[in-house]
Structure 1
Amino acid sequence: MSLPGGAAEVLDAAVVVSVPLRVRFRGVEHREAVLLRGPCGWGEFAPFREYADDEAARWLAAAVEAGWSAWPAPVREVVPVNATVPAVPPERVPRILDRFPGCRTAKVKVAERGQTLADDLARVAAVRDHLGPDGLIRVDANGAWDLAQATDALAALAAYGLEYAEQPVAEVGDLARLRVALARAGTDVPVAADESIRRAEDPVRVAREHAADLVVVKVAPLGGVSRALDVVSECGLPAVVSSALDTSVGIAAGVALAAALPELRHACGLGTAALLAGDLVADPLLPVEGALTVDRAGQARQGVLEELVEEHRADAATTAWWHRRLERVAALLA
């Protein structure tokens, strides 16, 4: 895939924005992104700064798909979503969950650098108190635990009834070994693979090596909606669609993917616009009654507002950095 039409014209029209977050998340306080506009709508190019250009090329392919290609036809019109709880103290949990009206599933960040398992337990306990016994809780360690730490931590966290643990360890081999260790210990916590899917040269390896019970897929890191659908099909495991901390422009692509999956058993991590203190569309993709709709996602794909772009336009230095990166990555994509 390459930039359609005149690449120079597309690059010249790219708009760089910096949207503040309500709570520091993934180590960032502003979400930086490049907006591209094509005949089918807007695309978002927003690989995190630490990602190398070759990895970022998949994010650009997804943005080009959003702007210049039709997405697969939906098989459902409504996509249930989960709340997302960053690594905050337990007293802040209720206020965060209240930003996700109707969501009965919460993903909770754990294994944050500088924090302890006691911090994780307190946060998850606060989520359980707020959701009640019928709410679903999943935890996300972003691969920060080693095998022994993950085994011990999940044994302790299992007391709060976990739906699954997302990327508890970094390596695929350790994911497989962790599943065995949890079974031997009688710890009933399914394992989901995230980074081992979206940052892998071989995303199907987790299925081949029985390293996960389900997969977490994100449109941008996998190169677009169509490619992500292929990955889910090749893995043959239940899938959860998640955001890469996108604005509503990027989340629209996630909704398109979730709506096109043949089967969707779990709430998706597409409510993360609630973590942003601003957005770029008139109707941000915030959960309503715990869900997003295909119709609203389509409106977000088309409906970036100039006044909101101006409000969140990045400064000159940030804009120049992203334009240089976009030119390099576009050359790789070509």
Structure 2
Amino acid sequence: MTGSPDLPDVSDLLERAQVVALPMRVRFRGVDVREAVLFEGPSGWGEFAPFVEYDDREASRWLASAIEAAYAAWPDPRREVVPVNATVPAVGPDDVPAVLARFDGCATAKVKVAESGQTLADDLDRVAAVRDTMGPSARIRVDANGGWSLDEAVEAIGKLAAYDLEYAEQPCATVDELARLRKALARNGIDVPVAADESIRKAEDPLLVARLEAADLVVVKVAPLGGVARALEIVEACGLPAVVSSALDTSVGIAAGVALAAALPGLDHACGLGTVSLFERDVARQPLRPRGGVLVPGRAEPDREALAALAAPDERQRWWRERLVRCHALLADGSPR
């Protein structure tokens, strides 16, 4: 069965739930330790790991995705491998080579920019170091996570364009700003495509981006959209090229992202699914880290010893279980969609 399964009883999920805490190699998106709830169902393992600041309504989509993974089947893949990009956090330029070395064979890099407390000069130095390390043939994209105003984005992208950007991901926070930015870049002769991420996965109306012509492509993440089947529906409805990315998932969550990328009708860009390399240790027997720049579709199987070693402290176990119960109640009430 593909698509949305029947909602399992919350007691069943709680009985199966394993709460883990994975230390990061490098601070990323303000996170030093990534927490997640994993549970096994008849189809395999699912992952429930919305960021702690998300409210229950938003987080319940992540639970729907985890339930789909554990209790339903994913679509058949259209391709045998999925190309993957390296991910470079907001590190100094001297640290860039060591970060890139963790992503075997990746010919594309996504570079975090617009980090709080840093400057455009920091971003330029980081992107320059990536270009120097990877060479002229590599693809480089930047991700601002909506951190720039419209004017700041025009200035920053104009300067970063010197490093031959593949695209700029979510340079501004709102869909309206993205639409105006595309026009401003065109007026200024800055040939850098705009990608929408948060404007898809955090939006009440993820199709607004396409209607307002606010992006050249969309970045989709399985968990925030409610699962592989729902993400496929959104990509099809948007009618724009898609890049599949992760949300600091363990290998269990990454497997869902790879399933989506493998099922897309077209895939012209490397996907942001190599972030397991940012963890000191993963939960899987065979962590889903890129080899030769690609990942292979398939389920991730957690290692029981790793689950025990990475178990979250008791107070965090309680916090996540209570959150799961609240989000399950929202799903039982029929929201969100």
- Scaled to the shorter chain, the TM-score interval is over 0.9
Count of residue pairs the alignment pairs up:
329
Could you say which residue in structure 2 is the equivalent of 1:321?
319
Which residue pairs with 2:50 in the alignment?
Answer: 47
Please report how far the alpha carbon of residue 121 of structure 1 lies from its aligned counterpart in structure 2 after TM superposition.
0.2
Q: Which amino acid in the other structure matches residue 50 of structure 2?
A: P
Give 1:36 shift: 1.5
TM-score, normalisation: structure 2: 0.96
Which deviates the most, 94-103 or 11-20?
A: 11-20
1:263 pairs with 2:266: yes
Query: Paired residue for 1:131?
Result: 134
Query: Cα offset for 1:12?
Result: 2.5
Which structure 2 residues correspond to residues 60-71 of structure 1 after superposition, within 5 A? 60-71=63-74
CA contact (8 A) 1:81 1:267 kept: yes
2:175 maps to amino acid: V
Tell me which of 140, 151, 160 is aligned to 1:148: 151
**CA RMSD for the aligned pairs?**
0.9
1:247 aligns with 2:245: no
8 Å CA contact 1:2, 1:333 repeated in 2 = no
Task: Name 1:115's counterpart in structure 2.
Answer: 118
The 8 Å contact of residues 5 and 71 in structure 2, kept in 1 or not, is answered as no
The offset of 1:5, in angstroms, is 4.1
Q: How does 1:301-316 map to 2 (within 5 A)?
A: 303-316=301-314
Q: Is the 8 A contact 1:2 1:61 kept in 2?
A: no
| Other-structure match for 1:205 | 208
Taking the aligned partners of 1:99 and 1:9, their CA distance within structure 2 comes to 38
Structure 1 gap ranges (5+): none
Rounded to whole Å, the distance in 2 between the matches of 1:120 and 1:94 is 15
% identity of equivalent residues = 65
Unaligned runs of at least 5 residues, structure 2: 333-337
Deviation of the 1:7 alpha carbon = 2.5
Q: Secondary structure at the match of 1:176?
A: helix
Which aligned pairs between 1:62-211 and structure 2 lie closer than 5 A? 62-211=65-214
Q: Does 1:34 find its partner at 2:37?
A: yes
* Aligned equivalents of 2:5, 2:232: Cα separation in 1: 20
Superposed CA offset, 1:170-197 (max 9, x none): 0000000000000000011100000000
Deviations 1:239-280 (A, max 9, x none): 000001100000000000000000000000000000011111
Summarize deviations over 1:215-234 as a string: whole Å, max 9, x none.
Answer: 00000000000000000000
Q: Is the 8 A contact 2:38 2:45 kept in 1?
A: yes
Q: Measured at CA, do residues 49 and 2 of structure 1 come closer, stay the same or move farther in structure 2, by a change above 3 Å?
A: farther
In structure 1, what is the Cα distance between the partners aligned to 2:56 and 2:302?
26
Deviation at 1:2, TM superposition (A): 7.6
**Could you list the runs of 4 or more consecutive aligned residues of structure 1 that deviate by over 2 angstroms after TM superposition?**
1-7
Secondary structure, in 3 states, of the residue corresponding to 2:253? Answer: helix
Retained in 2: the 8 A contact 1:2–1:330?
A: no
For residue 121 of structure 2, give the secondary structure of its aligned residue in structure 1.
helix
1:283-321: per-residue Cα shift (whole Å, max 9, x none)? 100000000011xx32x1xx1111000010000011011
- Residue 3 of structure 1: how far off its partner (Å): 6.5
Q: Within 2, Cα distance between the matches of 1:10 and 1:182?
A: 48
Q: Distance in 2 between matches of 1:157 and 1:107?
A: 13
Whether the 8 Å contact between 1:3 and 1:330 is mirrored in structure 2 is no
